[in-house]
Amino acid sequence: MLYWNSAYECMSRSEMIEVQTERLRNTVNRVYCNVPFYRERMQKAGIEPGDIKSLEDLKNLPFTNKEDLRDTYPYEMFAVPMSDIVRIHASSGTTGKQTVVGYTRRDLDSWSEVVARALCSAGANKESIVQVAYGYGLFTGGLGLHYGVEKIGASVIPISGSNTKRQLMVMKDFGTTILACTPSYALNIAETMEEMGIRKSDLKLKAGIFGAEPWSDNMRKEIEERLGITAIDIYGLSEIMGPGVSVGCNCRNGLHIQEDHFIPEIINPQTQEVLPEETTGELVFTTITKEGIPLIRYKTHDISSLKYKKCECGRTLVRMSKVTGRSDDMLIVRGVNVFPSQIESVLLETGETAPHYLLMVDRVDNLDILEIWVEMSQNMFSDKVRKIEELEVKIRKNIVSALGINARVRLVEPKTIERSEGKAKRVIDKRRI
Ligand code: DLL
């Protein structure tokens, strides 16, 4: 099965614009009538629903922020009565209150539709056996993937995310063909598999559908090699829907956004100005089919760019570039902007270490210090101190030439860095700014 829904995935641009325009006008009307927050915002900006006639008018609508969701916690942003809400999820939120999202039955249908499209992109069909090792619960990963698998009629193994040895036993015995989890957990699974003496040929695994956190292209290659699979990137956020907002394809040239459900824009995060195609900035989404909690111009903080050219896979859906980081995860080290995934890429490119790392940032005498902890590989562990020091110097030099920053590199013993079962924690920032 090449596509799940070619009518939308391969739709001509003019038809897509027509679909989006109608759905956008509908959504704006609905939030104006049903969500006091949006009515007030629009009145303040002097806009009435009737002013939104084409996609061009989208830029006149006010933005929505994460803070707006916190201020309206838990249900004030909902556009339907609670009797129409059939599911509630929430995002963990590392700072402050979590954000709550509600789905109507139709929202759940749209969600499984976009996840079904994503799974097809990873080669899924009715015969597939999909092990969902994303966490089940308020996090959207587990249940989001789950219903997509059921929608295409494949078999779902709802194992959730922990107990790595059991994951492998199930993978082997149940004949899992597709693994769904975070990329950092996929790596943890690969490592445990090697420790348990399970070979790639003992498994039926063909593909993985990984997301929920930034990962470099080098990390993708590492996972593909160690698990013997094709790894597809899946992106999403709970506020907009959950997993499935966009998905990569075999062309590996960006992720296709399910544009008949979500309209993307890229803005300059400082000036809020909309940026042209292929320019990097902050990703903003407007949902155009959601009933429970429709969001207008939601600022994601994710850094990406858009490309409208038709993809070689045949899909016409706009592509967003791989999200390498969030504007709020970006480290500013002595004035230089660095994303953890850029450091990850250099580490994996250099090779010779294990792919497990942690970034420690501190400020000493008003100067930022970045220390990169990276694990030695097992065979390196027995090497002479001089050899270890040489590798530290080599990594440091590669970081300087790739990113222009000076970092201290510390090769630490194997297994020192905590393994992830969900979203990995890569940074410890001790600066008090
Ligand atoms: O992480 C939804 C999800 C679940 C996506 C499973 C993919 C797979 P939240 O917990 O709300 O939702 O976190 C959303 O995670 O704004 C990005 O910063 C990051 N993120 C999600 N997918 C990717 C990805 C889920 N493929 C936040 N690449 C988003 C990079 C990602 N970052």
> Would you state the pLDDT for residue 178?
98
How far is the centre of ligand 1, averaged over its atoms, from the C-alpha of 139 (Å)?
A: 10
Give me 35's structure tokens: 């969500």
Query: Atom 14 of ligand 1 has which residue's CA nearest to it?
Result: 237
Q: What is the mean pLDDT of the chain?
A: 95
How far is the centre of ligand 1, averaged over its atoms, from the C-alpha of 196 (Å)?
A: 30
* 389 Cβ contact list (under 8 Å, min separation 6): none
> Would you state the pLDDT for residue 332?
87
Partners of 248 in beta bridges: 255
Give me 250's structure tokens: 């075999």
> Would you state the pLDDT for residue 95?
58
> Would you state the pLDDT for residue 93?
61
Residue position matching structure tokens 């700014």:
433
- Mutational pocket test of ligand 1: of 98, 101, 140, 184, the residue with most ligand atoms within 8 Å of the beta carbon: 140
Residues 14-35: pLDDT tens digits?
A: 999 999 999 999 999 999 999 9
Q: Between the CA of residue 246 and those of 9, 218, 263, 399, what are the distances in Å?
A: 11, 20, 11, 31
Query: For residue 160, is it left (φ>0), alpha (ψ between -120 and 50) or beta?
Result: left
Look at residue 94 and tell me whether its pLDDT is greater than 60. no
Residue position matching structure tokens 């959950």:
242
Give me 320's structure tokens: 């967003």
Half-sphere exposure of residue 232: CA atoms within 13 angstroms, side-chain side: 27
> Would you state the pLDDT for residue 325?
87
- Mutational pocket test of ligand 1: of 136, 237, 241, the residue with most ligand atoms within 8 Å of the beta carbon: 237
**Is 111 touching ligand 1 by the criterion CB < 6 Å?**
no
Look at residue 183 and tell me whether its pLDDT is greater than 80. yes
**Is 91 touching ligand 1 by the criterion CB < 6 Å?**
yes
Query: Atom 29 of ligand 1 has which residue's CA nearest to it?
Result: 237
Average pLDDT of span 140-154: 98
As a whole number of angstroms, the distance between CA 36 and CA 55 comes to 23
How far is the centre of ligand 1, averaged over its atoms, from the C-alpha of 285 (Å)?
A: 14
**Is 302 touching ligand 1 by the criterion CB < 6 Å?**
yes
Residues 341-358: pLDDT tens digits?
A: 999 999 999 998 999 999
- Reported confidence tier of residue 433, pLDDT bands at 50, 70, 90: low
Helix (H) or strand (E) holding 408: strand 408-412
**Is 140 touching ligand 1 by the criterion CB < 6 Å?**
yes
Average pLDDT of span 94-123: 93
How far is the centre of ligand 1, averaged over its atoms, from the C-alpha of 250 (Å)?
A: 20
**Domains of the chain, each with CATH number or no CATH:** 7-14+71-328 (3.40.50.12780), 336-429 (3.30.300.30)
Helix (H/G/I), strand (E/B), else coil: 51: helix
> Would you state the pLDDT for residue 335?
84
Look at residue 408 and tell me whether its pLDDT is greater than 60. yes
> Would you state the pLDDT for residue 372?
97
**Is 142 touching ligand 1 by the criterion CB < 6 Å?**
no
As a whole number of angstroms, the distance between CA 179 and CA 177 comes to 7
Query: For residue 287, is it left (φ>0), alpha (ψ between -120 and 50) or beta?
Result: beta
Q: What is the pTM of this model?
A: 0.95
- Reported confidence tier of residue 96, pLDDT bands at 50, 70, 90: low
> Would you state the pLDDT for residue 354?
92
Other CB atoms within 10 Å distance of the CB of residue 44: 9
Helix (H/G/I), strand (E/B), else coil: 59: helix
**Is 183 touching ligand 1 by the criterion CB < 6 Å?**
no
Beta carbons of 218 and 349 less than 8 angstroms apart: yes
Enumerate helices (H) and strands (E) in the chain, giving the number of each. Answer: 12, 20
**Is 248 touching ligand 1 by the criterion CB < 6 Å?**
no
Give me 361's structure tokens: 């940032």
**Is 237 touching ligand 1 by the criterion CB < 6 Å?**
yes
How far is the centre of ligand 1, averaged over its atoms, from the C-alpha of 387 (Å)?
A: 38
Average pLDDT of span 83-110: 90
- Reported confidence tier of residue 334, pLDDT bands at 50, 70, 90: confident
Look at residue 285 and tell me whether its pLDDT is greater than 80. yes
Residues 210-227: pLDDT tens digits?
A: 999 999 999 999 999 999
Helix (H/G/I), strand (E/B), else coil: 68: helix
> Rg (Cα) of the chain, in Å, rounded?
22
Which residue blocks in 35-182 are alpha helix, DSSP H? 36-44, 66-71, 105-121, 140-152, 164-173
As a whole number of angstroms, the distance between CA 97 and CA 349 comes to 38
> Would you state the pLDDT for residue 210?
98
Query: Atom 15 of ligand 1 has which residue's CA nearest to it?
Result: 212
